[in-house]
Amino acid sequence: MRTPFNERATEMGLEYNAGKLMASYSDQFGEVVYRQLTTMPGMESHPTDAQVAPIQAIYTRPSDNPEAEFKYCGFVSDIYQFIGNEVLNQSIRQAIAQVGLPIVRESVIRSDNLTRMRNEIIIESSQSVPHVGDVLPVMIVENSYDGSKAAMVTFGITTRVNNERIVFAFGLGSMRQVHIVNASTQMASAISEYMEVFSSDIANMVSGSFESTITEEQMLGTLDLIEKIGKKRREEVSKLLADMNPPAVEGQDPPLPSAWQMFLAIVRYSSLEENLNAKRLMENAAESVLVIPQRMFQVLDRLQSQ
């Protein structure tokens, strides 16, 4: 049986106030407070009182504005496992440092209510790829304070398209919290393994995708998948895709895009996406058209299952 949230608060990195049944945490990304919900004093008892499982109400506010009001953001169960955003980010930075690679920059996206965080950590280890230019590896760190997303790290890539930086996270290769916080050596080993396959296979992935023409069925199926996320998103991706292809010869159907063009059209749009759920779904759609070398696929799949 798991120890109750309040009894685990301190070991999870929260500051606990027993008198207020309150646990709190703050870093540069925001402040979060958990308060155990209880029956109000003076209320008549009911047989279900003893059966109600304790839950923790969530409140957040910006950490750079102590005058801001806390915003109620839902609740988590008593078995929720908390980890602070900066604690998670720092554990990944330390693992990257163990591998001996410098970080180029970090880009953080937060949900409006501050319960979700995505940090894109770009690593200085570029590969020059024909048709594309420099491609760099990225570690995408994701976390939530409301239980909507498990703390995880995903391997990805970044490059520039028309002076715009695009970032993509593989669906394969995501490592969950138990592997990225309690075992920094294991995380460093995973990063090292990804860097090795990135260096040897990323050019093959790009060239293979560039040379592979998708079928009309694949193109429409992918666009249909994006439309489920939002009709406007399909329209914007279709527009980007049309801009990449030469105009159709009169009397002929327009040429079908390569897998790489389809991938780029989706990722160029998803890189600007602020909704973190939609961003992840679009990245999954982009990954579905890529031609991923077998060895790279196997490494990502193995890292995910560790």
pLDDT in tens, 143-181: 999 999 888 999 999 999 888 899 999 988 788 765 555
Residues 202-247 have pLDDT tens digits of 999 999 999 999 999 999 999 999 999 999 999 999 999 988 876 6
Residue 55's SS3 state is: strand
Residue type for 143, please?
A: N
| Statement to judge: residues 126 and 71 lie in one domain | no
Question: Using 50, 70 and 90 to split pLDDT, how confident is the model at 283?
Answer: very high
CB pairs under 8 A, 24+ apart, for 159-162? 159/129, 159/132, 159/133, 159/134, 159/135, 160/133, 160/134, 161/264, 161/268
CA gap 124, 29 in Å, rounded: 24
Residue 38's SS3 state is: coil
| Statement to judge: residues 101 and 62 lie in one domain | no
pLDDT over 90 (residue 76): yes
From 77, 102, 126, the end of a domain falls on 77
Q: What's the mean pLDDT in 28-36?
A: 95
Which of the 8 DSSP states describes residue 33? Answer: E
| Statement to judge: residues 301 and 178 lie in one domain | yes
For residue 159, the cross-strand partners are: 166
8 Å CB contact between 56 and 80: yes
Alpha carbon distances (Å) from 2 to 12, 82, 192, 297: 14, 14, 34, 36
Q: Of the ranges 97-101, 105-109, 175-179, 253-257, which one carries the lowest mean pLDDT score?
A: 175-179
| Statement to judge: residues 176 and 42 lie in one domain | no
| Statement to judge: residues 73 and 98 lie in one domain | no
pLDDT score at 306: 66
CB pairs under 8 A, 24+ apart, for 68-76? 70/33, 71/113, 71/114, 73/113, 73/114, 73/115, 73/145, 73/146, 74/115, 74/146, 75/37, 76/5, 76/34, 76/146, 76/147
Domain count, the chain: 3
| Statement to judge: residues 167 and 235 lie in one domain | no
Strand 175-176 relative to strand 152-161, pairing: antiparallel
The model carries a pTM of 0.89
Q: Which of 180, 212, 18, 2 is nearest to 91 (CA)?
A: 180
| Statement to judge: residues 271 and 149 lie in one domain | no
Q: Residue 34: which domain range?
A: 5-77
| Statement to judge: residues 301 and 191 lie in one domain | yes
pLDDT score at 58: 97
Q: Is residue 242 part of a domain?
A: yes
